[in-house]
């Protein structure tokens, strides 16, 4: 068959692509094509064997003849109208009734070796193509025809023609093995597509999980997945760090947008790795600003000293980065500590954020800081002075606070 020929209205190449990479609609077409193709082969076998028994068996052979003609006539109609629902219904009806007609024409259960068992392909096909609810009537019809055949079997048996034992034995083997092989092949194909879909869903879930964890802290993400949609927690003791690149706008005025984004991404990725190493939580980046917290959403006993250590490491990392890109970037870093409220804002494009006076103070420490320096509030100074070297900057004017004591973190 050439690529220009068609099966169910698509080219051969498209047909085999649909078999290996089905969507919801192509999966149904693929399964139905398997059933129809298998049934057609069986019909050819029935026609051949029954015709070989003599002219008196022509009526029996006419049933599979009629199936093949009607089946491919409906295929032609479908090819022209593109109405797959019509073709599905027609094929399921013929898959259901043709085996029973064959059994009745041959002479009942015994003479036909239970050929009606092939009709089970109809409700099985309906189950996999139409779904559980719509397949129920097809199975009920199969059960009805099976019961009717059993009830009227004496009438069919009385009109049966003699069939050689070896033919009956061959039919029996074909009926058992044929239906078993077809059902196994179809179910195996269906199961393989189910496993493939589940695997793709698992990969997609893992990607979604990774994306969610890039947006939210792990503990917060887990609470959202448990339908805890109102997340607002109080934290009595945290430390917040704000970092900002000095005169970044001027330094990057002539830089192409892609290069600018790449530069920030490289630098902040280094800071992210440091934050992860210390068990801290990055809250957000705003332009060339970087915000991180210690003690939320997971409490941290020595949050102030750990944030101080992070700040010193960020300065070292910036020096290494400058050497790598041959620039002279400088940062102002501000740190403050105290109680805050943290939670998730919004229902779309939501974000984890923190609020409180320490947040505002840390931001003021950064904005009123000195280039290349780490400025801390008096609250943070009292928490870290025993483990770090600090220098008093004295009183400075802070918006909304007046004059406050600040300190410069020098070393550990």
DSSP-derived secondary structure letter, 348: S
Query: Is the pLDDT confidence value at 14 over 50?
Result: no
Query: Is the pLDDT confidence value at 186 over 80?
Result: no
Q: Maximum distance among all alpha carbons in the chain?
A: 117
Between 168 and 133, the higher pLDDT residue: 133
End-to-end distance of the chain based on CA atoms, in angstroms? Answer: 78
What are the helix and strand counts (H, E) for the chain?
A: 15, 10
β strands within 184-279, DSSP E: 232-245
DSSP-derived secondary structure letter, 255: S
| CA atoms of 181 and 151, how far apart (whole Å) | 29
By the 10 Å C-beta count (0-12 exposed, 13-18 middle, 19+ buried), 172 is classed as: middle
Q: What is the average pLDDT score of the chain?
A: 83
Where are the alpha helices (H) located in 82-131, listed in sequence order?
Answer: 84-106, 108-112, 121-130
> Could you tell me the two tokens for 282?
């990055």
Please state, for a pLDDT cut of 70, what percent of the chain lies above it: 92
Query: Is the pLDDT confidence value at 251 over 80?
Result: no
- Give residue for tokens 């969507």: 23
According to the model, what pLDDT value does residue 257 have? Answer: 83
Q: What is the pTM of this model?
A: 0.58
| CA atoms of 398 and 1, how far apart (whole Å) | 82
DSSP 120-187: GHHHHHHHHHH-HHHHHHHHHHHHHHHHHHHHTHHHHHHTPPP--HHHHHHHHHHHHHHHHHHHHHHH
According to the model, what pLDDT value does residue 229 have? Answer: 65
Query: Is the pLDDT confidence value at 15 over 50?
Result: no
According to the model, what pLDDT value does residue 163 have? Answer: 78
Task: Identify the structural domains of the chain with CATH numbers, from first to last.
Answer: 6-209 (no CATH), 218-411 (3.30.70.1230)
According to the model, what pLDDT value does residue 332 have? Answer: 96
């Amino acid at each position: 068959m050439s690529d220009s020929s068609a099966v169910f209205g698509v080219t051969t190449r498209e047909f085999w692509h649909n078999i290996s990479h089905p969507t919801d609609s192509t999966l149904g077409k693929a399964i139905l094509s398997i059933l129809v193709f298998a049934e057609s082969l069986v019909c050819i076998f029935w026609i051949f064997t029954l015709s070989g028994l003599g002219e008196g068996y022509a009526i029996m052979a006419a049933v599979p003849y009629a199936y093949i003609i009607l089946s491919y006539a409906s295929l032609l109609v479908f090819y022209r109208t593109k109405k797959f629902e019509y073709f599905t219904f027609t094929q399921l009806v013929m898959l259901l009734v043709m085996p029973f007609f064959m059994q009745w024409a041959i002479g009942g259960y015994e003479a036909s070796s239970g050929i009606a068992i092939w009709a089970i392909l109809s409700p099985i096909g309906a189950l996999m193509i139409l779904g559980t609810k719509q397949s129920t009537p097809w199975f009920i019809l199969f059960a009805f025809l099976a019961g009717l055949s059993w009830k009227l079997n004496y009438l069919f048996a009385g009109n049966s023609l003699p069939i050689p034992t070896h033919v009956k034995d061959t039919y029996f083997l074909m009926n058992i093995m044929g239906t078993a092989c077809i059902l196994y092949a179809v179910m195996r194909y269906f199961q393989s597509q189910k496993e493939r879909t589940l695997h793709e869903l698992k990969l997609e879930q893992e990607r979604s999980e990774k994306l969610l964890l890039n947006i939210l802290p792990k503990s917060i993400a887990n609470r959202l997945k448990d339908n805890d949609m109102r997340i607002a927690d109080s934290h009595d003791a945290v430390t917040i760090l704000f970092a900002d690149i000095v005169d970044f706008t001027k330094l990057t005025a002539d830089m192409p947008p892609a290069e600018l984004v790449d530069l920030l991404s490289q630098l902040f990725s280094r800071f992210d790795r440091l934050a992860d190493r210390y068990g801290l939580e990055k809250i957000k980046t705003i332009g060339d600003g970087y915000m991180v917290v210690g003690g939320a959403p997971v409490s941290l006993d020595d949050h102030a000293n750990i944030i101080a250590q992070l700040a010193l490491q960020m300065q070292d990392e910036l020096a290494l980065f400058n050497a790598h890109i041959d620039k002279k970037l400088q940062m102002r870093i501000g740190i403050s500590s105290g109680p805050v409220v943290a939670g998730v804002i919004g229902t779309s494009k939501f974000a984890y954020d923190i609020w409180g006076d320490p947040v505002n103070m840390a931001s003021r420490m950064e904005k009123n800081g000195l280039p290349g320096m780490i400025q801390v509030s008096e609250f943070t100074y009292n928490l870290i002075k025993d483990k770090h070297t600090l220098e008093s900057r004295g009183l400075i004017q802070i918006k909304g606070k007046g004059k406050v004591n600040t300190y410069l973190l020098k070393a550990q």
